[in-house]
Structure 1
Amino acid sequence: MPSTARLPEELTEEYARTLDQADELAPFRERFAIPQRNGTPVVYLCGHSLGLMPKDAPAAIAQELDAWARLGVEGHFHAPRPWFSYHREVSAALAELLGALPHEVVAMNSLTVNLHLLLASFYQPRGQRRKILLEHFPFPSDLYVAQTHVRWHGLDPQDVLELLAPRPGEATLRTEDTCRRIEELGEELALVFMSGVHYYTGQRFDVEAITAAAHRAGALAGFDLAHAIGNVELRLHDWEVDFAAWCSYKYLNSGPGGVGGIFVHERHGLDPGRFRLGGWWGTPESVRFQLLEEFSPAPGAEGWQLSNAPILPLAVHRVALRLFQEAGPERLYRKRERLTAYAQRWIDYVRSRLPAAPLRVITPPPPERGAQLSLLVERDGGKLYSALQEANIVVDWREPNVIRLAPVPLYNSFADLYRFGQALLQAAHVLWG
């Protein structure tokens, strides 16, 4: 970068630190373990892939290990937090983040397992109503889940799956186009199955409008919220979403392979006639140990449980979600907007300084985004990614040509984004200056 370069005031290090000093959520950063390289904290902008570890996590796990050591099997009922009902330790926090009623959510299994369980219940093709509508370039697991359920019903995915496509020259979908396609499919459509936030582009879909369009067509609507929960505002109950599933290791900071969860709207969850795959942990607690000869589901989302809860991952999940409750979702969402706008400001500045830089943010502006920005790099993307890594900026690369970054309001700072901007500017100058 030429020595004569002068930054706009709002992009200086001093300005970033002033923003951090005024940030009421800044103390939460100290409650996370920030990775270091050579004794220096990295700039960690990869919470969309794996969130950072809450410092309370080791003690939470140790508490359950201690209960196991002291109590053995009696821990199911006599541990400080009895394991028999441990999943309820996180229900209220999840319900708040999802805009759900507590009996509409349960933490269990992992994301793709839960999606299979939900499609077993909610994809029931009948007559001509057999099509599933997905967004363009869906996450592979979502696509594989849909393909295999279609085959399970003896149908051909080539005939049944419909993938939306952006307009020519555009990278993201328009809500009106999605709703129009739902209307066109009409009585052929059984299920709209989309993500809440697209993993590649970072686009936040209008879940409310899409769900309403699906219901007008006589179809159901379900969502993969892996990149949405803990990132964007959700009102699943009021929006009348039929079902949803998520993982907890991204924005929820609950550890690699952490426990997933499901939402089932109460109109389905309280309907004992709604088909679900059975397991003994999905029966009512009052009769669970009677070992009934016929499966009878517990009311609500808990009726989709199969096996007893994984206590050690749930212990991490509990303390991670407690941070959301302490910070308050609305405060987190406001900071998210400011952080992501600041990152966007840096990218725009680099593009203005170096017009030859083949950089373009394909993530839409608010309200169609959360924390994530997807930076499309038309050439030398791998070199740019490597340069950022060498500068201790942790982002990730997604084929064919996108660098993803997500400033997370619980632990990222404006000073982090100053360091990111400086590294991006320096690398862009070397590559394209």
Structure 2
Amino acid sequence: MEPSPLELPVDAVRRIATELNCDPTDERVALRLDEEDKLKRFKDCFYIPKMRDLPSIDLSLVNEDDNAIYFLGNSLGLQPKMVKTYLEEELDKWAKICLLHTAHLRTATRTLRGAYGHEVGKRPWIIGDESIVSLMKDIVGAHEKEIALMNALTVNLHLLLLSFFKPTPKRHKILLEAKAFPSDHYAIESQIQLHGLDVEKSMRMIKPREGEETLRMEDILEVIEKEGDSIAVVLFSGLHFYTGQLFNIPAITQAGHAKGCFVGFDLAHAVGNVELHLHDWDVDFACWCSYKYLNSGAGGLAGAFIHEKHAHTIKPALVGWFGHELSTRFNMDNKLQLIPGVNGFRISNPPILLVCSLHASLEIFQQATMTALRRKSILLTGYLEYLLKHYHGGNDTENKRPVVNIITPSRAEERGCQLTLTFSISKKGVFKELEKRGVVCDKREPEGIRVAPVPLYNSFHDVYKFIRLLTAILDSTERN
């Protein structure tokens, strides 16, 4: 029996336990969930690290031939198996035909003598980025002409802010969450300084309430309402890197627009993790990296979005030749014909090798669909949350186990796949023991261990095994 789309994860777990006549914490529940998983085949599209290859592994505690429990897709996604094939295609093209200058690059108005590589294959070099944009549009919920694949995230953030942040004596603030990712913080700080403004006055950060880890939506909306007339740009994370909190993007956007602000988002931890509808939500601009949930490899090609309503009014502050219309780009007459919208913000030739790795991943997303991935993710992370609370929620007064606190919001609509855990004991010891047993996750200051079961390649049995290992570690810590 397939779970209802409205069925809560805990209810699904209990339903399956009832069907199997076992406890909800029984391993058979995880195995049944995996049997019913319609996305399980996609795990075979990725290379899963082996225990023997992990640098901090203790081989006396594991089977070296087993797969690692990889819960770090929120930091670096796994490698799609097709990456090597696509890279070899382009390297082979480069090796064989790059010097054949009798080729012709055909554009809308003229023929240009140039290298074959620019016009042949599934990823013509001259439009390598554009050739895969169609695979990105459903992931971010945008029209193709609203998306550019270029640069790195913070580079794109700077380019966007140069055009959207135009402070005046009255409207000079950028609003962001406190403890934003450092690169965002530095970028905003430097943009404010670039305009000769006082960071203390123009950088408005919203903090959680005393004793709380995450922001309340009513507090965000209240600040926008009260201070919006002095705010030029509202710039939030889509999903906070540390707490795992998913912000209400459409509500923040609507509130910002009501006060005359531009509204943008850093979607590094949201893209490929949760469903996005940037165009329909009327977001002004956004940017994201692709090496986390989009699995493009370290330093992979980033993305940017500008709503089509700004296509003819928001211009790039810095221009390069790839912002020029392709049809006349090679006239070489130095008369700029700027492409409207975000594609006019492109500066240089697309890096075809980075396009390859992103291409391999985006094809998997196209097959799986964000709707199906999100549905599995809610159940997968909900199952993890259920087991954590069952074993380590602080209710076991007899065994006096160390307590695990989940600082990520419990409501599915307020989080993605990541849960951030804090402990009643030192996180460093817990993290070290997890590493020794082949669990790949990460720790973040001040107190968090981030765990992210990714629906493309993680299973419910991965979650079950993780909980068993964590429980053994915490039990051992208590005994010692």
Cα distance, 1:79 vs structure 2: 3.6
Partner of 1:387: 433
Partner of 2:102: none
Q: Does 1:23 align with 2:37?
A: yes
Q: What's the C-alpha RMSD, in Å, of the aligned pairs?
A: 1.5
1:34-54 CA deviation, whole Å, 9 max, x = no partner?
A: 001122110000000000001
Counterpart of 1:105 in structure 2: which amino acid?
Answer: I
User: Percent same amino acid among aligned pairs?
Assistant: 42
Q: Does 1:66 align with 2:107?
A: no
CA distance in 1, matches of 2:313, 2:245: 36
The answer to whether the 8 Å contact 1:71/1:79 transfers is no
Partner of 2:472: 426
Cα distance, 1:294 vs structure 2: 4.6
The answer to whether the 8 Å contact 1:10/1:16 transfers is no
The structure with more radius of gyration: 2
Cα distance, 1:85 vs structure 2: 1.1
Match of 1:143 among 178, 185, 197: 185
1:128-172 CA deviation, whole Å, 9 max, x = no partner?
A: 100011112100000000000011101121111011011122110
1:250-270 CA deviation, whole Å, 9 max, x = no partner?
A: 0001111110010000111x2
How many residues align? The count is: 426
The answer to whether the 8 Å contact 1:378/1:401 transfers is no
Partner of 1:271: 312
Partner of 2:227: 185
CA distance in 1, matches of 2:220, 2:33: 39
Q: Does 1:174 align with 2:216?
A: yes
CA distance in 2, matches of 1:343, 1:291: 58
The answer to whether the 8 Å contact 1:50/1:250 transfers is yes
Q: Does 1:303 align with 2:303?
A: no
1:332-370 CA deviation, whole Å, 9 max, x = no partner?
A: 110000100011112112224455524210100211001
1:217-271 CA deviation, whole Å, 9 max, x = no partner?
A: 1111111000000001111101110100000000001111110010000111x21
CA distance in 2, matches of 1:277, 1:296: 14
CA distance change for structure 1 residues 61 and 275 in 2, over 3 Å: closer, same or farther?
A: closer
Partner of 2:80: 54
SS at match of 1:259: coil
Partner of 1:340: 381
1:6-47 CA deviation, whole Å, 9 max, x = no partner?
A: xx7222222211211111111111111000112211000000
The answer to whether the 8 Å contact 1:279/1:295 transfers is no
Counterpart of 1:250 in structure 2: which amino acid?
Answer: K
Unmatched segments (≥5 aa) in structure 2: 1-21, 52-63, 99-114
SS at match of 2:197: coil
CA distance in 2, matches of 1:41, 1:228: 26
Q: Does 1:375 align with 2:375?
A: no
1:71-120 CA deviation, whole Å, 9 max, x = no partner?
A: 11320123443111111222112110111111000111111111111111
Partner of 1:238: 280
The answer to whether the 8 Å contact 2:316/2:344 transfers is no
SS at match of 1:137: coil
Q: Does 1:261 align with 2:303?
A: yes
Partner of 1:321: 362
CA distance in 2, matches of 1:297, 1:350: 59
Q: Does 1:11 align with 2:25?
A: yes
TM alignment of 1:156-167, pairs within 5 A: 156-167=198-209
CA distance in 1, matches of 2:226, 2:132: 40
Partner of 1:3: none
Q: Does 1:281 align with 2:337?
A: no
Cα distance, 1:273 vs structure 2: 5.4
SS at match of 2:453: coil
CA distance in 2, matches of 1:49, 1:273: 32
CA distance in 2, matches of 1:91, 1:15: 39
SS at match of 1:129: coil
Match of 2:142 among 100, 122, 130: 100
CA distance change for structure 1 residues 28 and 273 in 2, over 3 Å: closer, same or farther?
A: closer
More moved, 181-190 vs 85-94: 85-94
Counterpart of 1:21 in structure 2: which amino acid?
Answer: E
